[in-house]
Structure 1
């Protein structure tokens, strides 16, 4: 049971870590090289795509998706989708994909005359699943060596940690005040039942012994 318990705990922690890693904002310093719109057909990877633009038809199985293509300082390519999140999850309340696409297009630069920008995004990039991080903001920066302190992530993670600590303390107090006394009472009751059963067995044996003595006579 101990292994099962720790397996469940580790599995739950991995799920929480994956959700947070996917949802919390990240910053990439890149050079934008292109913006385009592609028609995408969604399949098993549809859960990793946001909803259609607010106000458009959401019943179609495919739709046009805005993309921002960029290159990192080390030369590695980075491709981002640019979709509204609307009022759904994750709660970025992003409704300005068209404006963001225009801002990104205005910051396109070449290798000889680079313009470095910080793209704020959430999500993962997977070539196997054909999924892309969703850009939620773009900002021009001074150079490729700019560093960011993730203040929002720090605040969110600290708040979650405090909430977890609060719920854990509430659970401990609830267990000490409610569950443990009930378990103790149940244990005492069971012990009493066992004692009465043992007493009845002794009485039954003594009664049988009296009949055995009579038979011997």
Structure 2
């Protein structure tokens, strides 16, 4: 049972980590190389794309018109973003300006000979075999490839989550001290009293049984002509 609880705890921790890693904003310094729209056929991976309620355009064949932003990292590795509104649907970034962001991204395009570096804030994962892309939220120019602005939004969210967890922990401890622990103590005392009564009853039954056996033995001996002890 103990091992089962440990496994459940580890699985829960992994799920929480993956959830936060996907939903929290991240920042990457990149160079924008291209911006374009593409009709994309979404299958099971549509859970990683915006909800149709956000106003995304989808034709009769089920192909969705999605904006993409091609970028290159300082180490030369590509990183492709999608650019979709989130609306009030999860995650709650309240993004409604994907058109404006696409225009800004197009204006910040540059070449390897004359690079312009940009810090892009996004959420989500880039998994190439599954055609999953992070969603760009905002961007702003930075001085160079080594400039990495502090990711204060993620830090603030983690701080709020930590404060809420601490508050819940404190409330649980107070509830346990005021309600659960006294109830357990009362239950322990009640169990002890029951045990004492059972022990007394058992001792009384044993004593009475011995007395009854003694009287019965005396009665049998009287019939045999033996003097009573």
Structure 1 residues 95 and 53: alpha-carbon distance in aligned structure 2, compared to 1, 3 A threshold: farther
2:27 equivalent to 1:27: yes
- Secondary structure of 2:130 counterpart: coil
Q: Distance in 1 between matches of 2:51 and 2:152?
A: 27
Is the contact between residue 27 and residue 120 of structure 1 (CA under 8 Å) also seen in structure 2?
yes
1:4 CA displacement:
4.0
2: CA distance between counterparts of 1:111 and 1:59?
A: 36
SS at match of 1:181: helix
Q: Does 1:163 align with 2:202?
A: no
Taking structure 1 as the reference length, the TM-score comes to 0.89
C-alpha distance in 2 between matches for 1:46 and 1:204: 74
| 3-state SS of 2:35 partner | strand
Partner of 1:67: 68
1:75-119 deviation digits (Å, cap 9, x = unpaired): 100001111111011111001112211221222222222222111
List gaps (5 residues or longer) in structure 2.
Answer: 221-229
1:84 and 2:57 matched: no
8 A contact 2:56–2:65 mirrored in 1: no
Query: Which residue of structure 2 lines up, in the alignment, with residue 214 of structure 1?
Result: 215
Aligned length: 217
Distance 1:59 1:190 in 2: 71
Q: How does 1:4-23 map to 2 (within 5 A)?
A: 4-23=4-23
Q: Which has the larger radius of gyration?
A: 2
Within 1, Cα distance between the matches of 2:53 and 2:33?
Answer: 24
- Residues 57 and 129 (structure 1), Cα distance of their counterparts in 2 relative to 1, 3 Å cut: closer
Tell me the CA shift for residue 130 of structure 1: 2.1
Distance 1:193 1:7 in 2: 38
Measured in 2, the distance between the counterparts of 1:50 and 1:34 equals 21
Give the conservation status (yes or no) of the 8 Å contact 2:57–2:65.
Answer: no
Q: Is the 8 A contact 1:22 1:122 kept in 2?
A: yes
Displacement, 1:58? 8.0
Which residue in 1 is equivalent to 2:153? 152
Q: Secondary structure at the match of 2:136?
A: strand
> Which runs of no fewer than 5 residues in structure 1 stay unpaired?
none
Tell me the equivalent position of 1:115: 116
Aligned-pair Cα RMSD in Å: 2.2
Measure the CA separation in 1 of the matches of 2:209 and 2:34: 97
Secondary structure, in 3 states, of the residue corresponding to 2:95?
coil
Q: Distance in 1 between matches of 2:192 and 2:41?
A: 66
**Structure 2 CA distance, aligned partners of 1:212 and 1:62?**
94
* Matches of 2:64 and 2:152, distance apart in 1: 35
1:142-168, Cα deviation, whole Å (9 max, x unpaired): 221212112222222222222221221
